[in-house]
Structure 1
Amino acid sequence: MSGVVDLAAVKAAQEAKAKAEQARAEAARQGGGGAVSPADLVIDVDEAGFEHDVLQRSTEVPVVIDFWAEWCQPCKQLSPVLERLAVEYDGRFLLAKIDVDANQMLMQQFGVQGIPAVFAVVAGQALPLFQGAAGEAQIRQTLDQLVQVAEQRFGLTGLTVDPDAEPGGGARAAQDVPAGPHDTLLEAAVRALDEGDLSGAVQAYKNVLADDPGNPEAVLGLAQAELLQRVQGLDPVKVRKDAAEKPQDVAAQIAAADLDLVGGHVEDAFGRLIETVGRTAGDDRNTARVRLLELFEVVGAEDPRVIAARRALARALF
């Protein structure tokens, strides 16, 4: 679960975090109507409801998927444990049960080879957890890691559970939050990215930030779009050759760090620029420092690798 940086996933996480916060704020304004019943923490999902019940809900809370079948004896041992833990974890994850006999297409899409099989979906990203029988201690360890990653990397803190809430009421979905004043511009920026119009995306995000400098989605989107714009057309072989042969060349190190990050080598990108900061001075040092801060924006302030790199940068500066 701690693999390379997927820029699309990071973007989705930031959007999910912002919309979930809006949903919680709106529920609070309406008198706390955002809580769910413990009975709503375990749901049956089929192919027709998968997009809403799993993909959309995964922008609010990690969704653990239990692939099972009536004839599967190990499933009958595992499923009750997962159901009990879903309630015990008090909204930190949602359990979605999928009957493989009735939902062959979903089974194939996830590449399930045998059951029981357990996956998770976080901010639209699928993660395999384990397959076959598992002890409760192993399951707890896996779930603990899942909820930690969901919170640290994706800002998903789970659902508010109220034992007195009516089953089936559910929290107000994040997608039901009224559109914000900049949603049209943000959607235009996303379309521009999808179409490869990086200049258009950059300008759209800047337009949002001109009116709302702290907009988290625009800050992240601009950092991503500018990063992709910088690496567009670069010759990776030449960039890495220049960086290896010219350790004092700040521009060469910055270009290599950009490529490192796009390739998912987060620690390499951060470490390269921290070393550059440490061995330079004046304008060169500041240039490397500013680029490093921009890369922090792409990965996200809550990411443990960013937190560690900030400490290392402070040591290099002082």
Structure 2
Amino acid sequence: MQPRNMSMSGVVDLAAVKAANEAKQKAEQARAEAARQGGAPAVPADNLVFDVDEAGFETSVLQLASEVPVVVAFWSRRSAQSEQLVQQLAGLAAEYRGRFVLAKVEGESAPMLLQQFAVQGVPAVFAVVAGQALPLFQGVAPEEQVRATLDQLIQVGEERFGLTGIQVADAPAPVDAPAPAGPYDALLDAAMDALNANDFAGAVRAYQNVLADDPANPDAKAGLAQAELLGRVTQLDPQQTRKDAAERPADVPAQIAAAELDLAGGHIEDAFGRLVDTVRVTAGDDRDAARVRLLELFEVVGADDPRVGKARTALARVLF
């Protein structure tokens, strides 16, 4: 259905019709009174869009229309077009911040209003301004055309009826709510406490408990790899480890120990490079042991670290 009546020229009387000059005078008096009392109270942004039925139309639309243009959208749950249009108008109501409000009327539940507004089909959009109903359009329309119609409506409301809109309250600053506790948060916290206390065996047990129920848990997998690494490194003599690695370049356990010492000391690229070189110069079970330990060290550092990606590429080159 194509939009029609994109004009402010037609005016349909309602039972609550008032003369334009009287409406304008009343609006000016209301603003003066509000200013005398310190200004009109701001309304929440959620109040800019609301549902209305026949019983509440007079109080929620006709009375509000003496303060701000009210766009009345007739829609149906059986019409995808009308649902789309209502969503579009609701977004524009939020954007225009109180220069108009949107009243949604589900046509099936309001036959008298459909008759009163002479609605031919949904979606159909009208405006109520100071007790007068103005046909806007029927059917969907491009957003720029809808905006132009709303701008014209706002101009008519202000110039003819003295309606300058309502003040909208700023949204409160979001409060950072604590994230809900996950099913393994307590165990993961206990594991971290154990790591901080250098109780690496206790941390390993806590992470293993999580992985027993959730084998793919990324925090537990990374934590377990870290706890096992630190547990092994604390048993090493750094001087002797480096001496053994320098003297026996093809000795896989010696190279693994030195690589783990490098990693624990923050020398990540050195650790990865050492084990990639070890994979290159070894074969069989020794080669596989170096490769598996390198993959475990990737878990410690984390897959998102660019040094891990670089080392994976280097490992692939020496393997294939």
Question: TM-score range, shorter-chain basis?
Answer: 0.3 to 0.5
Structure with higher RCO (Cα < 8 A, 6+ apart): 1
Relative to the length of structure 1, the TM-score reads 0.47
Mark the structure with the bigger radius of gyration: 2
Relative to the length of structure 2, the TM-score reads 0.47
